[in-house]
Amino acid sequence: QSVLTQPPSVSAAPGQKVTISCSGSSSNIGDNFVSWYQQLPGTAPKLLIYDNNQRPSGIPDRFSGSKSGTSATLGITGLQTGDEADYYCGTWTSGLSSFVFGTGTKVTVL
């Protein structure tokens, strides 16, 4: 049972914007960097955002991340059909005792 809460699903039309929230606590998000992962159907997760708001090389700037207090947010602008996937946030718990993932959010492009 995950300690990071995400909405089960979000949707928008092509070209629009969606945001995905990730709610935690002072013992996880509040004290550590947050990362975000995209999982296309039948494939391994892929890193989208690390250290709260950094994009790895090759990730378009349509994807953005932010963190405030014990919550984090992933934004996707210019939504494309290829963005239909499950998205997970993740972070360490205090003292780096374990890594936790969010509950996951399914993005649907209408």
Q: Which residues bind another protein (CB under 8 A)?
A: 2, 32-33, 35, 37, 44-47, 50-51, 56, 88, 90-92, 97-104
Nearer to another protein, 46 or 62 (CB): 46
Q: Measured from the CB of residue 43, what is the shortest distance to another protein in angstroms? A: 8
**C-alpha gyration radius of the chain:** 13
- What DSSP string runs through 18-64? EEEEEE--TTTGGGS-EEEEEE-TTS--EEEEBTTTBPPTT--TTEE
Nearer to another protein, 45 or 75 (CB): 45
Nearer to another protein, 37 or 83 (CB): 37
Backbone angles phi, psi at 106, to 5 degrees: -90, 125
